[in-house]
């Protein structure tokens, strides 16, 4: 029997054993994508890092000597630092709102009958697929600063405000737009984590007389932390790296790192500086990812101890 031989092969030991055992040919199937990503993803990314420490002379020629001046400039100039803090603040505030509003939606989604659960899933997912440009544009129509915006038209028709509010082209508008764009990224991991909790745990806590908020605080929340951390990481990272929403809703008053990069490359043509800001953005995103991982690992360790 030639075929099926590897099914009965006893587990081989050691690295060499693993490489030569029967299932090794299956492992080769990963080679094409590794080559592809090495050439079109990893190499360009490393190249960008290299680019960020090169000098650009007055004529725009880029080359050696190596320098850290672009990073120094970024962290010295108030304007750039403001964009940096804008990015962190907008991403953090968006993530916090996503958590506060995502929990109720995820709980109702998981704990309702099939029809309601299905309707909520459909509404949460559908916009995920609609272009970010389109969704931000929708918010522009709602938040427009004169009485031609839907929100101001409603508020003024109802007599709640006398004069139109100015929400568009502010950080608040960017937070609202980003919350809309990335909300599914919080709800879906939360719902999946909540779905894994044994409902009997909550039921017995209720039976023993715990009020709803205590059940949430002592049982639901701790058990759903993996989903919470995954959602937070996704929303924070995606918001920090966004470009479209700040342009459409933030105008010039809520510029983020992505907009700064685009501006340095396409408007100022300062490629090494643009590359340096891109590296800073990558570090922000990876920092949040590492922090989240630590948090999850620390928690697992504590629960074992």
Partner 1 sequence: MTPRLTGVGAWLLYTITVLMMAFILAPLVVIVAMSVSDSYFVTFPPQGFTLRWYGQILQDRDFLEALRLSSLLAFGATAGALLLGVPAAIALTRGNFAGQALLKGLVLSPLIFPALVTGLALMQLLARFGWGDARINLLIGHIVVTSPYVIRSVTTSLMLIDINLEDAARTLGASRLRTFWRVTLPQIAPGVAAGALFAFMVSFDNYPVTMWLANSQYSPVPLVLMRQLVNVFDPSVPAMSTVIIILAVIGVLILERLVGLRRAAAM
CB of 241 to partner 1, least distance (A): 3
Does position 33 bind partner 1 by CB under 8 A? yes
Among 13, 15, 160, 305, binds partner 1 (CB under 8 A): 15
CB of 222 to partner 1, least distance (A): 17
Among 124, 174, 175, 219, binds partner 1 (CB under 8 A): 124
Provide the terminal-to-terminal Cα distance of the chain, rounded to the nearest Å. 50
Does position 43 bind partner 1 by CB under 8 A? yes
DSSP 60-118: --EEPSP--HHHHHHHH-HHHHHHHHHHHHHHHHHHHHHHHHHHHHHHHHHHS-HHHHH
Shorter beta-carbon distance to partner 1: residue 75 or 146: 146
Does position 258 bind partner 1 by CB under 8 A? yes
Among 53, 83, 90, 105, binds partner 1 (CB under 8 A): 105
**64-72, 167-175, 284-292, 297-305 -> range binding partner 1 (CB under 8 A):** 284-292
Shorter beta-carbon distance to partner 1: residue 61 or 305: 61
Number of H helices, E strands in the chain: 18, 2
What is the rounded distance in angstroms from the CA atom of residue 65 to the CA atom of residue 53? 8
CB of 227 to partner 1, least distance (A): 11
Question: Please, which residues have CB within 8 angstroms of residue 12's CB and are 6 or more apart in sequence?
Answer: 18, 20, 21
Which of these, 239, 287, 272, 281, lies nearest to 84 by C-alpha position?
A: 281
Among 168, 193, 219, 248, binds partner 1 (CB under 8 A): 248
- 166 CA to centre of own chain: 27
Q: Is the dihedral of CA 195, 198, 199, 202 positive or negative?
A: negative
Does position 118 bind partner 1 by CB under 8 A? yes
Does position 127 bind partner 1 by CB under 8 A? yes
Tokens of 293: 């991982």
Using CB under 8 A as the criterion, what x/- string covers residues 156-195 for binding partner 1?
------------------------x--x----x--xx---
Among 13, 78, 158, 213, binds partner 1 (CB under 8 A): 213
What is the rounded distance in angstroms from the CA atom of residue 27 to the CA atom of residue 142? 52
Does position 137 bind partner 1 by CB under 8 A? yes
CB of 258 to partner 1, least distance (A): 5
CB of 292 to partner 1, least distance (A): 11
C-alpha distances (whole Å) from 34 to each of 48, 90, 131, 138, 158 are: 19, 35, 29, 39, 59
Q: Is the dihedral of CA 238, 240, 245, 249 positive or negative?
A: positive
Q: Find the length of the chain.
A: 305
Does position 108 bind partner 1 by CB under 8 A? yes
Residues 53-72 that bind partner 1 (CB under 8 A): none
CB of 237 to partner 1, least distance (A): 6
CB of 24 to partner 1, least distance (A): 7
């Amino acid at each position: 029997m030639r075929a099926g031989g590897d099914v009965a092969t006893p587990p081989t030991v050691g690295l060499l054993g693993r490489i030569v055992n029967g299932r090794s040919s299956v492992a080769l199937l990963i080679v094409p994508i590794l080559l592809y990503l090495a050439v079109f993803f990893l190499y360009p990314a490393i190249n960008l890092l290299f680019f960020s420490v090169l000098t650009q002379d007055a004529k725009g020629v880029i080359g050696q000597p190596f320098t850290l001046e672009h990073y120094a400039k970024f962290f010295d100039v108030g304007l750039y630092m403001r964009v940096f803090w804008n990015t962190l603040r907008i991403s953090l505030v968006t993530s916090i709102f996503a958590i506060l509003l995502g929990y109720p939606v995820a709980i109702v989604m998981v704990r309702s009958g099939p029809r309601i659960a299905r309707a909520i899933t459909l509404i949460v997912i559908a916009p995920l697929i609609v272009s970010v440009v389109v969704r931000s544009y929708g918010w522009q129509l709602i938040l427009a600063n004169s009485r031609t915006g839907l929100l101001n038209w409603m508020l003024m028709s109802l007599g709640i405000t006398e004069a139109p509010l100015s929400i568009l082209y502010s950080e608040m508008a960017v937070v609202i737009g980003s919350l809309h764009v990335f909300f599914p990224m919080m709800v879906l991991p939360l719902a999946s984590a909540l779905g894994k909790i044994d409902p009997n745990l909550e039921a017995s806590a209720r039976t023993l007389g715990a009020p709803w908020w205590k059940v949430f605080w002592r049982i639901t929340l701790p058990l759903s932390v993996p989903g919470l951390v995954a959602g937070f990481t996704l929303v924070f990272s995606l918001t920090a790296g966004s470009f479209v929403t700040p342009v459409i809703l933030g105008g010039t008053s809520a510029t983020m790192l992505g907009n700064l990069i685009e501006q340095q490359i396409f408007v100022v043509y300062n490629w090494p500086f643009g590359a340096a800001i891109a590296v800073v953005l990558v570090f922000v995103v990876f920092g949040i990812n590492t922090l989240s991982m630590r948090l999850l690992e620390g928690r697992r360790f504590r629960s074992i101890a």
